[in-house]
């Protein structure tokens, strides 16, 4: 049936649009999780390096050359980790932009499909309604001799003769 086909397409298109939106939310959640994990691991490494630096200082507090080398090494590692986290964050943002574009395309496509299905369903509804009206009009109309449909006229009664003059009301 045409109406069921159009309604099925309409609801499938709605589901496709919402699926695209849910997929985008899931991707953003996964992206946030990856960045959070990177930040947590960076903080953990930094904390362990700070403890190791403190341990070296406590073991030999007067070894200024060795301690300054350890401080420089620890600072270099911290900068390297910070740059890696920033690189990952920018990579995730680039992925987010691409995913957003794809989601938008999926949603536009789904909306287009839903619109086409709605138009098709409405067209089918009005076609069926028109056919019903035409068939009921044809069954009650009096056929003319030339094959055209006759006109419908209300029945005339003796109490209400049809007048050619328009009815006028008397002023009060």
Reported as a pLDDT band with limits 50, 70 and 90, residue 1 is very low
Q: Is residue 75 part of a domain?
A: yes
pLDDT of residue 151: 54
Question: In sequence order, what DSSP letters do the residues of 20-62 get, joined into one string?
Answer: HHHHHHHHHHHHHHHHHHHHHHHHHHHHHHHHHHHHHHHH-TT
Q: Is residue 155 part of a domain?
A: no
Q: Is residue 72 part of a domain?
A: yes
What is the Cα–Cα distance from 52 to 16, expressed in whole angstroms?
A: 54
CB 34 within 8 A of CB 92: yes
> What CATH number should be reported for the domain holding residue 16?
1.10.287
- The SS3 call for residue 2 is helix
Q: Is residue 172 part of a domain?
A: no
Reported as a pLDDT band with limits 50, 70 and 90, residue 138 is confident
User: What is the domain count for the chain?
Assistant: 1
The residue segments making up the domain with residue 76 are 2-136
CB 37 within 8 A of CB 85: no
- Weakest mean pLDDT among 62-71, 77-86, 101-110, 135-144: 135-144
CB 134 within 8 A of CB 152: no
Q: Is residue 105 part of a domain?
A: yes
């Amino acid at each position: 049936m045409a109406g069921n086909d159009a309604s099925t397409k309409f609801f499938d298109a709605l589901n496709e649009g919402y699926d695209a939106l849910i997929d985008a939310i899931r991707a953003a959640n996964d992206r946030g999780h990856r960045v959070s994990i990177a930040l947590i691991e960076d903080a953990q490494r930094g904390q362990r390096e700070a403890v190791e630096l403190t341990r070296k200082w406590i073991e030999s507090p007067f070894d200024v050359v060795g301690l300054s080398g350890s401080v420089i090494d620890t600072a270099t590692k911290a900068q390297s980790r910070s740059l890696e986290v920033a690189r990952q964050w920018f990579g995730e943002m680039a992925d987010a932009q691409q995913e957003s574009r794809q989601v938008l395309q999926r949603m536009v496509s789904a909306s287009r499909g839903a619109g086409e299905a709605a138009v098709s369903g409405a067209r089918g509804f009005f076609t069926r309604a028109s056919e019903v009206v035409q068939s009921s009009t044809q069954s009650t109309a009096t056929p003319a001799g030339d094959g055209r449909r006759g006109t419908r006229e209300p029945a005339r009664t003796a109490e209400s003769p049809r007048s050619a003059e328009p009815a006028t009301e008397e002023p009060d």
